[in-house]
Amino acid sequence: MEMPDLQGIMDILTRVGRWVDIVAKVVNPLMAFMLPILFFIGDLLRDVILWVNTFIPVGNYTWFIVVTSVVGVVAIVLTFLFPGEKPEDD
């Protein structure tokens, strides 16, 4: 049985961790305003899903899955496009 490429997995996790760190540094000063912003984004997302559902009526839950999947794919693509600095070997 072949062992998985652990170094590749660790590199990917490191890149994702760097993006999380960058987002945290940007979001940290805005933490007092974060809850209303999240409610606003959620409300806006719900309105968009309901609006799209009027043209293509497949159900709100399906559109929620589509939107969250697209957001996830965009996050993964950004991670690979902007990998950041290569970690130093200790």
Q: Is residue 86 part of a domain?
A: no
- Structural domain harbouring 19: 9-81
Helix 60-81 / helix 34-55 crossing angle, nearest 10 deg: 120
What pLDDT score was predicted for residue 57? 77
State both tokens at 23: 């987002």
Q: Residues near 35 by Cβ (< 8 Å), separated by ≥ 6?
A: none
Number of domains in the chain: 1
Helix (H, G, I), strand (E, B) or coil at 82: coil
* pTM for this predicted structure: 0.35
Q: What pLDDT was estimated at residue 1?
A: 54
pLDDT tens, per residue, the chain with 90 residues: 566 667 777 888 888 888 888 887 877 776 667 677 777 877 887 788 778 778 877 776 777 777 778 878 887 887 787 766 666 665
87 located within any domain: no
